[in-house]
Amino acid sequence: MSRFNLVFLLLFLPLIALRGQLEKKVLLDSIPIPGQENEHYALYVPSTLDESVPFPALFVFDPAGRGVEGLKPFIASAEKYGIFLACSITSRNGSLNENFALAENLINHLLAQYSIDAEKLYLAGFSGSSRLVSAIACTTNSFAGVIGCGAGFTGSPQHVPSTQGFAYAGICGNQDMNYLEMFNNAAYLENINFSHSMFSFNGGHEWPPETVVLDAMDWLFIQPKKGANKVQLEAYTKALFKQASILEKNHEYLFAHEVYGRIASLPEKILQDSLDVRLENLNRNTVFKTSKIRFERALEEESKYRKKLFSRFNRDAKDPKRASLDWWEKELNKLTEMASKGDRNTKHMVARLRFSLYASAAEKTNPNLYKANAEQLAFFKLLKNSIYPSEN
């Protein structure tokens, strides 16, 4: 995305008038972008949006260009905070440069068309589109916050958060193939003191539930750039304490620990003594300590298995004549046995590994992403059948 074009528009946003009344509480699909052939988006305007002043906007990107489906997880957040929502229907997994251009066209069109607040621009994406929105935020540094769901960064150094001014909310299901990546990214952001928080949920590689998205938006809107005062911070902190208490009561100690970490990450330390006591009590809890050890052990095992399995996958993908389906069947059977005998953490780890392999094989059969020959396509199909026999 061209930073010049976006910043140019932002400078003149106060002069841009709202054109026409906005239809509220209606999911609008397939709206064309004037002057851009075959580029469309979906739109949702909440009932709480105040048209008399510039309003916040969230630009959403879905890896398959599902505009309405991409907006649905954000509707509760939009209603709570009066956020203007738009999701590209044209952008989807593929060329990063092409998606930069599509995102630029969409965002610049909306900034020119509506009275959007330049200080409250947000991005959200799922899977490959999560990598896209992080790259946009890093290269433009013109957004207040990013919600990255189910995937981290592109891998290019210029697309990794470092000194930029946005806040990053990473959301990922604990059975998502990219969970380990998201967990490691959170550790990296913590190490460089980048404004971030991770939001885990029980689920796989999917758009997160509306409730989890709302948690992430609550966190984004309490950040310093939003002008949150001490009263708001204290109310938010108390809400997090209540959330953590419910999780502990339901024996979801790892999720509770994550919430306490969110409290610790707030820009001002509110109720610090209460936090210290809660953490001390949790760290003394035998069930939590055991769960934490098993969780960390599962992540270590996953890292080892990923290296082994994907080393073989990459070799076989390059030269399918050398591929041994017997080897793959043996390794997949090992994973099945591990899941049957292991605890919840092990089951989640196996689910992540299986789906990761399946997704990699499926991606290789997409002609827009990979140019595979007949032998390669045959191998990928057989591997997919071995991973999930009932689905092929």
Q: Where are the domains of the chain?
A: 3-227, 228-284, 288-391
Specify the pLDDT at position 231.
Answer: 85
Band the pLDDT of 366: cuts 50, 70, 90. Answer: confident
Specify the pLDDT at position 188.
Answer: 97
Residue 312 tokens read as 């073989």
Chain segment 258-279, per-residue pLDDT in tens: 999 999 888 777 888 899 999 9
Mean pLDDT of the chain: 92
Residues 3-227: name the CATH superfamily: Alpha/Beta hydrolase fold, catalytic domain (3.40.50.1820)
**Better-scored residue on pLDDT, 18 or 99:** 99
Please tell me the pTM assigned to this model. Answer: 0.92
